[in-house]
Amino acid sequence: MSIFSKIKDAIFGKKTAPEDRPQIPAGMDGGAPATQTTPAPTIDAGPVDVVQSLDDMAAAKGNPDLNYKSSIVDLMKLLGLDSSLDNRKELADELGYTGDKDGSAEMNIWLHKEVMRQLAANGGKVPASMTD
């Protein structure tokens, strides 16, 4: 699984396939369950408010001082992901960063903004201040 996928899953929640439930035909009196299944209903809750989700995670974990709204390192720490330079280099490769992958402020700022842009492109509600 890619690092960005781990970030997205941590914020949006993992999407799982709908569970199948046994369908009992009308008139069947307590016999064996039917072999037909119907998918469980899915609910589309709309776009995920990324900032609210991150704020909720920080409050729940007792990490309100992490600067996850602008720091890729703090964002990854909040999500329980390895924020090492090697992982950030891998994330930079995934997202198409073309500069030096040396852990510079320029790379880290670009990574944070690009992660936020990708979250927005994948159904997240992200303020423009975090993507520009």
Express each pLDDT in 85-120 by its tens digit. 999 999 999 999 999 999 999 999 999 999 999 999
Q: Which of 15-29, 31-45, 68-82 has the highest mean pLDDT?
A: 68-82
**What are the CA-CA distances from residue 28 to residues 23, 32, 37, 39 (Å)?**
11, 9, 15, 20
Predicted model pTM: 0.76
- What would the pLDDT profile of 30-54 be if each residue is shown by its tens digit? 555 554 544 544 445 678 999 999 9
Instruction: Pick 13 or 36 by higher pLDDT.
Output: 13
List, in order, residues 6 or more apart from 108 with CB less than 8 Å away.
71, 72, 73, 88
